[in-house]
Amino acid sequence: MDLNNLNPLENIDHWEDDLIKRYPENKNEKSQKEFRDYQNSKRAETVREFYKLNHKYQSYNFVCEKENRFLQFKQGEMSLWEAVEFLNTLIDDSDPDIELDQLQHLLQTSEAIKSDGHPDWFVLTGFLHDVGKVLCLFGEPQWAVVGDTFPVGCSFSKSIVHSEYFSLNPDSTNPKYNTKLGIYKENCGLDNVKMSWGHDEYLYQIVKDYLPQEALYMIRYHSFYAQHKEQAYDYLMNDTDLKMFDWVRKFNAYDLYSKAPVPPDSQSLKPYYEDLVSKYLPNTLNF
Ligand SMILES: [Fe+2]
Ligand SMILES: [Fe+2]
């Protein structure tokens, strides 16, 4: 069986649509009936299957293998704009529900941040936060690119979505990894904690020398819902992490809820973003 061919989602953004169902912007908007209907739908079924694969295979060793492979940055050199355009080729024509391409999601996020008057590095973070999804175009399966992220090397929290599937993960029965702290020390700080592999960690490693610390936390932990929404891993966090997660939460609201009625016009915005990118990043990045 080739694990790389296991891609249950019709479109990788269905994972993010599921997040909005889990964490609706206005809790009252989510009627019980609507949520039940969704849980019974075929879409929810594919999301469950997706998390089953993610939780089964994202073990400590799996993360080490992916880091060894991708953190040598041998996939190629691209400017950020080229990477965004490359990412935008990730469109699934078979999905009639698709509303937004990847570029639109990035621009909606960054434009919403901009219109609230935040500093330019925050706008840039919105614009590039999902560029690590190019992993999909390097042949990686969906469950190793998107989905909630979580620490590996210690026991999996019950607060992680579909945590029942962690029983399939070999680390769950490995005494080295299946205690509350596992290989870590209490409040050792997230920088010392290995996270499940995906687009967040990958992009963080690509841009870590160029952006302010707040931006790097947003990029690295934006899919770590078990912490930024559920506070399930306070015992691994240090004081800096706790402070920086205020920014991660601030960012998350733009990531999830910035769907504008009129899609941003990418052509007219391009010069602004080219200037912004060149203010912070080198001409090309190694992927
Ligand atoms: Fe993301
Ligand atoms: Fe996003």
Ligand 2: centre distance to CA 5 (Å): 23
Please give the share of the chain, as a percent, with pLDDT higher than 90: 78
Domain that holds residue 175: 3-286
Ligand 2: centre distance to CA 149 (Å): 13
**What is the pLDDT confidence band of residue 200, given thresholds at 50, 70 and 90?**
very high
What is the reported pLDDT for 35? 66
For the record, the structure tokens of 91 come out as 């469109």
Across-strand partners of 286?
A: 77
Q: How many domains does the chain have?
A: 1
Q: Please list all protein residues whose beta carbon sits less than 5 angstroms from ligand 2, which is an ion.
A: 130, 255
What is the reported pLDDT for 17? 84
- Residue ranges of E strands in the chain: 77-78, 285-286
Across-strand partners of 285?
A: 78
Question: pTM for this one?
Answer: 0.92
Q: What is the mean pLDDT of residues 190-197?
A: 98
Taking Cα atoms as reference points, which of 40, 32, 57 lies closest to residue 168?
A: 57
Residue 271 has pLDDT above 70, yes or no: yes
Ligand 2: centre distance to CA 151 (Å): 20
**Per-residue pLDDT tens for 27-67?**
666 566 776 677 778 888 999 999 999 999 999 999 999 99
Ligand 2: centre distance to CA 109 (Å): 8
**Per-residue pLDDT tens for 110-142?**
999 999 999 999 999 999 999 999 999 999 999
Whole-number Cα distances in Å, 217 to 57, 129, 259: 25, 11, 23
Considering every ligand atom shown, identify the ligand nearest to the alpha carbon of residue 223 and give its number: 1
Q: What does R_g of the chain's alpha carbons equal in angstroms? A: 18
What is the pLDDT of the chain when averaged over all its residues? 92
Helix axis angle, 80-87 to 266-280, nearest 10°: 140
Whether residue 127 contacts residue 106, with contact meaning beta carbons closer than 8 Å, is answered with yes
Across-strand partners of 78?
A: 285
Residue 5 has pLDDT above 70, yes or no: yes
